[in-house]
Amino acid sequence: MKQVDIQMLGTGSAFAKKYDNNNALIASGGRKLLLDCGITLPRALHQGGLTFGDLDAVLISHIHADHVGGLEEYAFQMRFIYGRKPVLYIAESLIEPLWEQTLKGGLTQEGLQSMDDFFEVRPLTEGVEAELLPGIRVRPLRTEHIEGKNSYSFVINGSFFYSADMKFNPYLLEQLVNDGVEVIYHDCQLYSPGVVHASLDELLTLPPSIQERTWLMHYGDNREDYDGRTGLMRFVEQGKRYTWS
């Protein structure tokens, strides 16, 4: 089994100023998959010594700006600077709203009228695992976030769970661990109540067997105030590379 690296280009919430939006870079065998492309992603990518041209594909979880706000620049750079269409992996239910509600207004111009003019769109089916890049297999799971708006979290290579923005769901986490998930990256709202995100107080109710494999991300800029207050869970650090098999 190939070694897989994950580096969070940002670990912050939608309103992050210090830690950048919660976007990840997943790599295996020299290939790079960007997971979400938020407002702060272009700058964070540059600060990490990378360009859009270094990416092999992008995977989108849902259409909030902290997860897709950098896609317009990505599309324009790839077309006009790098001269190729980037590969875009996205759940089937998100394709139309991403274009009609988010990208169409900024990207549309003469001769460029659709998502397919900018991206090589590869739809994903909920619950069905697909190999996105060699050594990187992803199974999208629809998880609750905002009522009426689809959002997807991901099981990667059967052993790694990456939440998008999701409400607290201990039953899902227990099921995933029983099915072989060894590492959980979970969004965490540091204050309560957790209305559309899992709050730290809620996550602290998880049993030790789940807490010890859980890493917290998508946190506020006051993260340091909570050091030592996360039970057996740990914070993911922005820019640091983590590896699993």
> What's the average model confidence in pLDDT over 54-61?
98
Would you state the pLDDT for residue 244? 84
φ, ψ for residue 98 (rounded to 5)? -60, -45
The token pair that represents 1 in the structure block: 């089994």
The token pair that represents 114 in the structure block: 């659709």
Where in the chain are the domains? 4-239
pLDDT at 171 over 80: yes
The token pair that represents 171 in the structure block: 């039953």
> What's the average model confidence in pLDDT over 202-208?
98
What CATH topology corresponds to 4-239? Metallo-beta-lactamase; Chain A (3.60.15)
124: pLDDT confidence band, cut at 50, 70 and 90? very high
Would you state the pLDDT for residue 228? 97
Please give the mean pLDDT across all residues of the chain: 97
Would you state the pLDDT for residue 76? 98
Share of the chain above pLDDT 90, in %: 98
Closest to 22 (Cα-Cα) out of 33, 30, 14 = 14
Q: For 173-200, how does the pLDDT look when each residue is reduced to its tens digit (9 = 90+)?
A: 999 999 999 999 999 999 999 999 999 9
Determine the 3-state secondary structure of 140 from DSSP. Answer: strand
> What's the average model confidence in pLDDT over 86-91?
98
Would you state the pLDDT for residue 1? 53
Would you state the pLDDT for residue 230? 98
> What's the average model confidence in pLDDT over 77-95?
97
